[in-house]
Amino acid sequence: MTIDDYKLTIFLLIGLFFVFGCDNAPNENCTSVGRPARIRPDYRDTVIPPNIAPLNFTVEEPGSRYFVRIYSDQGNPIEISSRTSRIFIPQDSWRTLLDANRGRQFSIDVFVKQAASASSPDVRSFPWQRFSTVMAKIANEDIDAFLVYRKIRPGHRLWRDMGIYQRNLQQFDESLVLDNGYFKQGCLNCHTFCGNRTDKMLIGIRSVDYGNSALLVEDGRVSKIGTKFGYTSWHPSGKVAAFSVNDVRLFLHSSASEIRDVMDFDSFLAYYLVDTKVAKTSPDIARKDRLETYPAWSPDGQYLYFCSAERPSSDSAAIPSTEFTLSAVEGLGTSFENYSQIKYDLVRISYDLAHDRWGQAETVLSGAATGLSILLPRVSPDGRWLLFCMCNYGCFPVYQHSSDLYMIDLADARETGQYKYRRLQINSDQSESWHSWSKNSRWIAFSSKRQSGAFTRIYISYVDADGRVYKPIVLPQRDPACYDWCLWTYSLPEFVTEPVRAAKEKLGRVVRSSGHVSIEMPITAATPKVLPPGPKDQLPRLGSGQAWMGERE
């Protein structure tokens, strides 16, 4: 090519830019639509973390060209032009904008150019439509950098793939902590961290091939405890982990929007002393006439909160494991037909770590008083708020659309002696559950089925100093439409301030290894029936595979 040829090429490119390129941004001649554009996920009036990954979204307005301007008081606006309705926000600009505008409003202006039609094939002549500004707020306080959750398909009794994953909330990176491919498609769940850190964590494992166990990670060392812990909570000292042992059964509804349901036929709480490698229980957390579950320590370690319900039958061992109907169960004298009457109370019990001594259990809030079953208590790390959920009955809120989030102001309770609860405004008409707190007590993550009724997704809400909880955002993904076809359910979101560093290969190796820490646990039923000789709070041995049946979200 000669110099003249180059000049001609550049001239033609500039000409093409003016003919076609200018059409990518709106000018002053916009028509105003007079309402905000429909965007999904919906970020209008939310409060977002200043360190969150870009909130990519889809504009749900028909059009052939899209233009979005995101701006706040400080810094340059982010402008995105797109021929599709999916808006991908550049990560660096997004981070700069958010960081410069902590505590301020930010705005999203959406412009759409009408799609071409047979009668008007040339869209360049169409004016841009300008929608009303979408407003949201950037919080001052960071969110914990990582979120650990489990992904499983919304199955019924059987499963194949499941895994625990960690997500860097400042980007879109998701990495595997451990999946069941490392131990022949067994089950793993109940990942639990001490103080939002990952240097001390537990993962529950069920495996026909390698036995039930709890993986204990301590400062990079991984050991295998020879029994599975149920719902688990770390004492803030890191020296004690309280856990539940549940004889849980999945049952089915023949006609309901959610046909799966769960009932604990028996359960109790125990605790594991890390230094001495001993599991123990105490009479008030393992009552023969009660079902105890969902332990949660207060951040000062002085109280263990948990849920407790009257045990429906004294003879669960008489229930056959083969098929039967309600009438058959009635014939056996059990109370399965009253499953919908079981309501859990919220209870707490004091604990003296120095002397390994328990106080007396006291009811914080009763199911009889609320008319609902109280489940999953979680105290904010600053000790101020007690977040829990309530549903119509039973022990498993994920399968009940009635499950909503509630909160108690513990500071107010200390002053007044009354535990006043309130239903949060962020609830939907579907199930909300599996909530957790960020280290700074300003963010909660929870699982919700609000999108579809079947698939749990993770949502994040801001909690201000007065306990007001703001409209949540769904866990952002690089593809803003991914939740439209994603067949994973996301459960047990747990905030951590650092990534899990234990390698998945190492965790898998320890699961498969024969060596483990032996601890003594009950024999068959969860609630101890006959204590063996020895110290009264020492537990008898648990048969492998007895405590859990089926798999749940």
Partner 1 sequence: MAKGNVGSAGIYLGALSKTLFHASWANQYLALLRADPNLSADAEVHRVRCLSLDKDYPTLSLPKEKVLSLLLEKNSQNRMAFEYLIAWYLLNKQLGKFVSNIERLRDFGYIELPTHYEEAALIYVYSAGKGVALGGYQSSPTLRRQIEDFSRILRGYGADKRAAFNDLARNYRDTYFFYYIYANPGFEK
Q: Looking at this protein, which amino acid is placed at residue 50?
A: P
Q: Does 478 bind partner 1 (CB under 8 A)?
A: no
Quick one: how far is CA 520 from the chain centroid? 31
Taking the complex as a whole, the smallest distance from the CB of residue 455 to partner 1 amounts, in Å, to 6
Q: What is the rounded distance in angstroms from the CA atom of residue 483 to the CA atom of residue 275?
A: 44
Q: Does 323 bind partner 1 (CB under 8 A)?
A: yes
Candidate ranges 49-57, 142-150, 209-217, 320-328; the one touching partner 1 (CB under 8 A): 320-328
Burial code of 22-34, b = ≥16 C-beta within 10 A, e = fewer? Answer: ebeebeeebeeee
Taking the complex as a whole, the smallest distance from the CB of residue 321 to partner 1 amounts, in Å, to 8
Q: Does 354 bind partner 1 (CB under 8 A)?
A: no
Contacts of 263 (CB under 8 A, 6+ apart): 248, 249, 251, 336, 339, 342, 394, 395, 396
Q: Does 252 bind partner 1 (CB under 8 A)?
A: yes
Q: Does 251 bind partner 1 (CB under 8 A)?
A: yes
Q: Does 62 bind partner 1 (CB under 8 A)?
A: no
Burial code of 129-142, b = ≥16 C-beta within 10 A, e = fewer? Answer: bbbeebebbbbebb
Q: What is the rounded distance in angstroms from the CA atom of residue 159 to the CA atom of residue 553?
A: 11
Taking the complex as a whole, the smallest distance from the CB of residue 258 to partner 1 amounts, in Å, to 9
Q: Choose which of 66, 483, 495, 548 interacts with partner 1 (CB under 8 A).
A: 483
Taking the complex as a whole, the smallest distance from the CB of residue 331 to partner 1 amounts, in Å, to 14
Q: What is the rounded distance in angstroms from the CA atom of residue 265 to the CA atom of residue 247?
A: 6
Taking the complex as a whole, the smallest distance from the CB of residue 373 to partner 1 amounts, in Å, to 16
Query: Which residues in 437-456 contact partner 1 (CB under 8 A)?
Result: 451-455
Give the residue carrying structure tokens 């549940």.
246
DSSP string, 158-214: --S-EEEEEEETTSS-EEEEEEGGGGTT-EEEEEEEETTEEEEEEEEEE-TTT--EE
Backbone angles phi, psi at 388, to 5 degrees: -155, 175
Candidate ranges 174-182, 375-383, 405-413, 484-492; the one touching partner 1 (CB under 8 A): 484-492
Taking the complex as a whole, the smallest distance from the CB of residue 256 to partner 1 amounts, in Å, to 6
Q: Does 261 bind partner 1 (CB under 8 A)?
A: yes
Candidate ranges 30-38, 319-327, 376-384, 471-479; the one touching partner 1 (CB under 8 A): 319-327
For partner 1, the closer CB: 173 or 484: 484
Q: Choose which of 486, 517, 523, 531 interacts with partner 1 (CB under 8 A).
A: 486
Q: Choose which of 32, 257, 360, 514 interacts with partner 1 (CB under 8 A).
A: 257
Q: Does 158 bind partner 1 (CB under 8 A)?
A: no
For partner 1, the closer CB: 321 or 418: 321
Q: Does 487 bind partner 1 (CB under 8 A)?
A: yes
Count of residues of this chain found to bind partner 1 when the rule CB under 8 A is applied? 29
Q: Does 253 bind partner 1 (CB under 8 A)?
A: yes
Diameter of the chain measured on Cα atoms: 100
Q: Are residues 260 and 551 in contact, defined by beta-carbon separation less than 8 angstroms? A: no
Candidate ranges 36-44, 173-181, 235-243, 255-263; the one touching partner 1 (CB under 8 A): 255-263
For partner 1, the closer CB: 257 or 360: 257
Q: What is the rounded distance in angstroms from the CA atom of residue 468 to the CA atom of residue 486?
A: 31
Q: What is the rounded distance in angstroms from the CA atom of residue 470 to the CA atom of residue 44?
A: 11
For partner 1, the closer CB: 453 or 543: 453
For partner 1, the closer CB: 142 or 261: 261
Q: Are residues 158 and 60 in contact, defined by beta-carbon separation less than 8 angstroms? A: no
For partner 1, the closer CB: 351 or 483: 483
Q: Does 339 bind partner 1 (CB under 8 A)?
A: yes
Q: Choose which of 92, 485, 515, 530 interacts with partner 1 (CB under 8 A).
A: 485
Q: What is the rounded distance in angstroms from the CA atom of residue 102 to the CA atom of residue 313?
A: 55
Taking the complex as a whole, the smallest distance from the CB of residue 163 to partner 1 amounts, in Å, to 18
Contacts of 286 (CB under 8 A, 6+ apart): 268, 269, 270, 292, 527, 528
| Residues in touch with partner 1 (CB under 8 A) | 249-257, 261, 319, 322-326, 329, 336, 339, 451-455, 483-487
